[in-house]
Amino acid sequence: MNIALWIVQGLLALMFIFAGSTKALQYEKAKASLPWVKDYSRGYVTLIGVSELLGGLGLVLPQATGIWPILTPVAALALGVVMILAAAFHAKRREYQGIGMNIVLLILAVFVAIGRF
């Protein structure tokens, strides 16, 4: 089970670090590739990106270093909340194609949270 958790943590971390860094650090690239970014302020998009970036780091670093490993399931739960909010956001905007990915990421984050608690 530990190996499965590490694999899921690693994949989720890579995904959230990549997505978060794009939103937080490369606003113009995010604006070109994500249709919703054009409708929201740079600060809002950056906040989401920083949240995803820190959550991605929190999925791996605490558990890997042994420093406050309780932060790993907390990060997973926080990212799960972000995915619930993202699904609601996309539903409100009638962007239904994005909701499937939000649900998959939510399930994986919950798996990590339960496995690490």
What's the pLDDT tens digit per position in 11-23? 999 999 999 999 9
pTM over 0.95: no
- 34 has a pLDDT exceeding 90: no
pLDDT digit string (tens) for 41-76? Answer: 999 999 999 999 999 999 999 999 999 999 999 999
Instruction: For residues 11 and 42, give the distance between their C-alpha atoms in angstroms, rounded to a whole number.
Output: 27
pLDDT at 104 (0 to 100): 95
Helical H runs in the chain?
Answer: 2-25, 27-33, 42-65, 71-92, 99-116
Confidence (pLDDT) at 59:
96
d(C-alpha 45, C-alpha 103), whole Å: 21
